[in-house]
Amino acid sequence: MRPVADLLPLALAATPPVEPGEFRPADLIELTSLDPTIRLDIRYATTRNFLGTPLYSEARAFMQRPAAQAVVRVQRALAREGYGLLVHDAYRPWYVTKVFWDATPADKHEFVADPAVGSRHNRGCAVDLTLYDLKTGRAVEMPSLYDEMSPRAYPAYAGGTAEQRRLRDLLRRHMEAEGFTVYEYEWWHFDYRDWKSYAIQNVRFEALSAIDNR
């Protein structure tokens, strides 16, 4: 709706919503520090995303430690079936969520989070991911592309090929077994069960570079 170059300074100057209650201390950890076989394709650090411009300064994926450990368990379970995880996004600073919302037409707002309430990505408890084939190293084909804003992205979409649906459902089954829930409009987006225990974060990736990953 508006150029990202115009929206970004406004988002950086804005303030996240104030939330009542007590929250666990943030403990964001890099996924690949726990398991380097988890592959990354962080689209928002590139131009290969729905806004066509980089939003992140670094191609990295952080999550709250319990959620990250659950993703590692999924990775190990999938390896026994010949697949690995390819992560497109994890922790997302709040200001990026505001840019998404302000840039997206109202009739597509089901695919982006309202900054007035924040995203589970902002809490470090959501992850966008797909599968890759361990033999070929290539990402598998799913019923839709990542960040595709169409009914093909719905987890219950009945179209596509039988193999695409099988792989989509395989990913969902393994993620749900470790406490994640799929977002109703996006087969690739999973929320960790404890997301309500963490506050919205607005720390930029640059400030996370020195994080202690022990």
DSSP 124-139: T-EEEEEEEETTT-PB
CB atoms within 10 A of CB 154: 18
- Please report the pLDDT score of residue 210 as a whole number: 58
* Residues lower than pLDDT 70 in the chain: 209-214
Instruction: State the amino acid at position 6 in one-letter form.
Output: D
CB 70 within 8 A of CB 85: no
How many structural domains does the chain have? 1
- Please report the pLDDT score of residue 1 as a whole number: 77
- Please report the pLDDT score of residue 206 as a whole number: 84
d(Cα 198, Cα 191) in Å, to the nearest integer? 12
Q: What is the residue range of 94's domain?
A: 4-16+28-208
Q: For residue 39, tell me if it sits in a domain.
A: yes
Q: For residue 173, tell me if it sits in a domain.
A: yes
Q: For residue 21, tell me if it sits in a domain.
A: no
> What CATH number is associated with residue 147?
3.30.1380.10
Give the pLDDT confidence of 15-58 residue by residue, as tens digits: 999 998 899 999 999 999 999 999 999 999 999 999 999 999 89
Q: For residue 154, tell me if it sits in a domain.
A: yes
- Please report the pLDDT score of residue 73 as a whole number: 98
Query: Where is 179: in which H helix or E strand?
Result: none
Q: If DSSP codes are grouped into helix, strand and coil, which group holds residue 175?
A: helix
- Please report the pLDDT score of residue 53 as a whole number: 94
Q: For residue 22, tell me if it sits in a domain.
A: no
Q: For residue 146, tell me if it sits in a domain.
A: yes
